[in-house]
Structure 1
Amino acid sequence: MRKGFLTFAAVGLLATGSMAACGDNGGSSDEAGGSNAKKPKIGVILPDSKSSARWEGADRKYLKAAFDAAGVESDIQNAQNDKTAFQTIADQMITNGVNVLMIVNLDSGTGKAVLDKAKSQGVATIDYDRLTLGGSAQYYVSFDNEAVGKLQGEGLSKCLTDKGVKNPSIAYLNGSPTDNNATLFKNGYDSVLKPKFDSKEYTKVADDSVPAWDNAQAATIFEQQLTKAGGKIDGVLAANDGLGNAAISVLKKNKLNGKVPVTGQDATKEGLQNILAGDQCMTVYKAVKKEADAAAELAIALAKGERKDTGQTVKDPEGGRDVPSVLLEPKAIYKDNVKDVVADGYVTKEELCTGAFAKLCTDAGVS
């Protein structure tokens, strides 16, 4: 999957090389982000605000802060999971003079169309968080998403062991089938859990993807899984905190919450509160500020006609390209280290430790 792999724990590690604004081999305006004389302006399209709280609660503010600190004009918009709106926003940004476009695609087809149009107009592009398969982005900035999935698989196994569950029946709530990240997460947790299914140590009773990461659909899907399994599901591999919370809502109705380990991802306030309450066994923390800062650094360089060497690439399996990439390292979060997410500033104690969660925070050492 990756070539020359390494993970970046912080930004500021990228070597800079100046790029000419013209020429056929690596110096055209579509590769370098346009003429150095053009005032830098960066457009960002976020995917939605429902699948995860991170997009509006974290990515937007961190990206804007990074651009503002560099004195670079930016336009950050949200497509709200609407493919037509996604394309319209991109067209407007190109028309309004952005010289770098950063996208979180809704699917690779829509993303590719936007990236190709931007390239044809001399606008440099970055895939942010999700790789656009068959796309043309100059850079890809994300986390090691197979490592995210591996942490989820290991987390579910740990929680089942801690509860002393023998031959557990496992249900999968995978992410959107059109999101390449969901495929990578599944590759990661399958690497841990498939050997257990093969050896009959665990039994997989359900394996469903959730269209568009839609939490309402996830609840319906999980309710059907639970019914089909005769009420016997011992562990839920949920691909993010939103899907995890959907499963937990169904478990609560059946008085099974806290008895059935549920995984997650994104370390959202809701996910962390579910962990503190004992309803969710773990989540995966991805330090979004580091991701946003790394992407902003690359975008600003492109807007100024420069290229930065990331030192690693990711293979696009559809396009066959080795895409220059920055991949950050994820971290597993359980009840005993929820405090690490607060200490990092991603969620504040005031946001997390409200009402009944105040004592739970104290018990977990959150300060």
Structure 2
Amino acid sequence: MRHLPIFITVIVLIIFNACQSDEAIKLGFLYSTSNTERYVKEAGFFKEYVENNGAQVLVEHGEGDEAIQYQKAIAMFDEGIDGLALIAVNANTAAAIVREGKERGVKVIAHNRLVTNCDLDFFVSGDNTAIGKMMVDEIIKAKPSGTAVILGGDKYDRNAVGMGIAINEYLKPHIQSGNIEVLYETYIEDWSIDNAAFELDQVISNTGEVPDIIFAGYDGMAQGCIQVLEKHGVEKPVYITGQDATLEGVRNIVAGKQQMTAYHPSKETAYKSAEVLMMLVNNDSGLKSMHSGFVNNGQKDVPNVRVSSIAITKDNIDKVLIQETASYTRDEVYN
């Protein structure tokens, strides 16, 4: 009988810990597709932050299909998540995910891609104006005059629209001075490598002219353009932009096939989304001082925090991507 108090204490501790586990915050990170290298990395960093801060996390992606993403969101809600960070496959139809979450009392934030016409709690993003500016700045620095083609991202993605507006704004004085002539401009559905390649191929085939500059909205699109230039046997240098600092994009910069890419610090961005979502779930009043402004999504002004991007060229690949952020190893980049 003298061991009975110890036995009871152990049982009480087990029950207490089980209750704590049941009551632990549970968050979800639901991204659009595993085909986007950056999103896969950010999902991992989001998970790392949440678990390091004592919460549970579910990670899924929508396989690039808005209907599948909706089904996976419902499954996450059914599993009892308290908050969801969402990279929408479709920024318009994903409003249904936000509405369902809100009806269940789940906090929902948009990560990287604003979801329109819904009661979104928060938006963590890059700065599309700054990205467009850095693309123009780096290109003009390398090629102050010549012909240009602008291939933006998907026209239904506000990131693509915002970046396109910025490229045109900062390119305008160079066009007015007569230094830059824009031959063609269009949006690229799904930010697709194949669609980008098709558009550039049409420009070259129909005009017989190879542009000096290509503003490509994403490294995958830049790769599509590089393939077209190689198919046409183009020997002159063509100055191409990109975004996301994919391994393929970085290697293209090293090889002299691409001029620059916009690097979004994956760890910083994912950690920020995780921090914001945990604060929302905990009703932390400190969140009010964190946002840097508001973005209207068609229904409301959504609090927004922006994470700055970095222009990557041959000059700073080693410093930023290998030494400071350990995004890649030297062997991955150069071998």
Pick closer, same or farther for the CA change 1:335–1:214 going to 2, 3 Å.
same
How do 1:218-367 and structure 2 match up within 5 A? 218-256=196-234, 259-307=237-285, 308-309=287-288, 310-316=290-296, 318-319=298-299, 321-339=300-318, 340-343=320-323, 344-354=325-335
Identity %: 26
Pick closer, same or farther for the CA change 1:145–1:257 going to 2, 3 Å.
farther
Determine if contact 1:108/1:135 at 8 Å carries over to the other structure: no
RMSD over aligned Cα atoms: 1.7
1:215 maps to: 193
Q: Which runs of 5+ in 2 are unaligned?
A: 1-21
2:109 maps to: 126
Please report the TM-score for the alignment, with normalisation by the length of structure 2: 0.88
> 2:86 is aligned with what amino acid?
I
Picking from 169, 175, 180, the partner of 2:158 is: 180
Q: Which runs of 5+ in 1 are unaligned?
A: 1-36, 355-367
Kindly report structure 1 stretches of 4+ aligned residues shifted beyond 6 Å. Answer: none
Determine if contact 1:129/1:143 at 8 Å carries over to the other structure: yes
Determine if contact 2:295/2:304 at 8 Å carries over to the other structure: no
How do 1:78-117 and structure 2 match up within 5 A? 78-117=61-100
Determine if contact 2:126/2:309 at 8 Å carries over to the other structure: yes
Q: Does 1:54 align with 2:38?
A: yes
Q: Secondary structure at the match of 2:267?
A: helix
Pick closer, same or farther for the CA change 1:288–1:257 going to 2, 3 Å.
farther
2:12 maps to: none
Deviations 1:141-191 (A, max 9, x none): 111121011111112222213xxxx4x111111101111111111122112
> 1:116 is aligned with what amino acid?
R
Please report the TM-score for the alignment, with normalisation by the length of structure 1: 0.80
> 1:327 is aligned with what amino acid?
R
Structure possessing the higher relative contact order (Cα contacts under 8 Å, 6 or more residues apart)? 1
Report the structure number with the largest CA radius of gyration: 2
Q: What is the Cα deviation at residue 118 of structure 1?
A: 0.7
Determine if contact 1:42/1:303 at 8 Å carries over to the other structure: no
Relative to its length, the structure with more helix (as a share) is 2
> 2:34 is aligned with what amino acid?
S
Determine if contact 1:265/1:283 at 8 Å carries over to the other structure: yes
Picking from 153, 157, 166, the partner of 2:140 is: 157
Determine if contact 2:91/2:113 at 8 Å carries over to the other structure: no
1:146 maps to: 129
> 1:94 is aligned with what amino acid?
F
Q: Does 1:41 align with 2:22?
A: no
Determine if contact 1:287/1:346 at 8 Å carries over to the other structure: no
Deviations 1:324-363 (A, max 9, x none): 2211111111111111221121222232222xxxxxxxxx
